[in-house]
């Protein structure tokens, strides 16, 4: 049976004494890379499907296991199904698992960089309340660390603010419209000409 610790090691690699991942791992996270997408599909598609059917409930007893399940449903889906509606299919379940982990205090048991990914489902939500919670989670996380790690976490906070502002402006992410079969407004089309697509 697959161990969730292997999944975390694959995504984060070793953290240094400051709690930072190495360049190899962090440079893969938000880059559109077909080869990396194919590797994740080959190695983890079956686990993503298993998680989507809530077949990994036993992982949730540990903070790391809860995070690993969220990564499958919120991050790996975006690699495996990049540009398609399936990339967002399990976002609601990922948010539910995130709330559950926070209610049980599992988020604070994780290293800071891993916590940043546990909160990511809120950043991916098209609901403004989730976006407000996202910004607050990342604000608190960044404020509780300094040095290079603090600077690194500030980049997650800025990303949360960017996502929040898009939802506040449009009520949805325009870059998802094509994949989800939604008609873009004139304002959204103007935004998409120069706006961020976040790899999708």
Q: Where are the alpha helices (DSSP H) in 17-74?
A: 23-29, 34-52, 63-71
* Predicted pLDDT at 69: 98
% of the chain exceeding 70 in pLDDT: 96
> What CATH number matches the domain at 4-194, 3.40.430.10, 3.30.70.1560, 3.40.50.10790, 1.25.40.10?
1.25.40.10
Nearest in space to 198 (alpha carbons), one of 81, 68, 82, 60: 82
Query: What is the model's pLDDT at position 31?
Result: 86
Going by pLDDT thresholds of 50, 70 and 90, the confidence category of residue 179 is very high
Q: What is the pLDDT of residues 43-69, one digit of tens each?
A: 999 999 999 999 999 999 999 999 999
- Domain residue ranges of the chain, discontinuous segments joined by +: 4-194
**pTM of the entire structure?**
0.94
pLDDT tens-place string over residues 109-142: 999 999 999 999 999 999 999 999 999 999 999 9
Q: Which of 1-10, 112-121, 144-153, 190-199 has the lowest mean pLDDT?
A: 190-199
């Amino acid at each position: 049976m697959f161990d969730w610790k292997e999944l975390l090691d694959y995504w984060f690699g070793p953290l240094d004494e400051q709690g930072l991942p190495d360049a190899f791992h962090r440079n893969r996270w938000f880059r559109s890379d077909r080869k990396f997408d194919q590797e994740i599909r080959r190695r983890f598609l079956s686990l993503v499907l298993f998680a989507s059917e809530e077949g990994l409930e036993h992982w949730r007893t540990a903070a790391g296991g809860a995070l690993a399940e969220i990564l499958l449903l919120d991050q790996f889906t975006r690699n495996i199904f990049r540009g398609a509606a399936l990339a967002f299919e399990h976002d609601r379940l990922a948010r539910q698992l995130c709330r559950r982990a926070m209610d049980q205090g599992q988020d604070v048991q994780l290293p800071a960089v891993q916590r940043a990914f546990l909160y990511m489902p809120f950043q991916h939500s098209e609901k403004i309340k989730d976006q407000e919670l996202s910004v607050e989670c990342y604000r608190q996380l960044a404020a509780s660390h300094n040095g290079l790690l603090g600077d690194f976490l500030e980049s997650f906070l800025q990303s949360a603010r960017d996502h929040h502002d898009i939802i506040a402006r449009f009520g949805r992410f325009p870059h998802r419209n094509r994949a989800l079969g939604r008609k873009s407004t004139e304002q959204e089309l103007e935004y998409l000409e120069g706006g961020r697509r976040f790899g999708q």
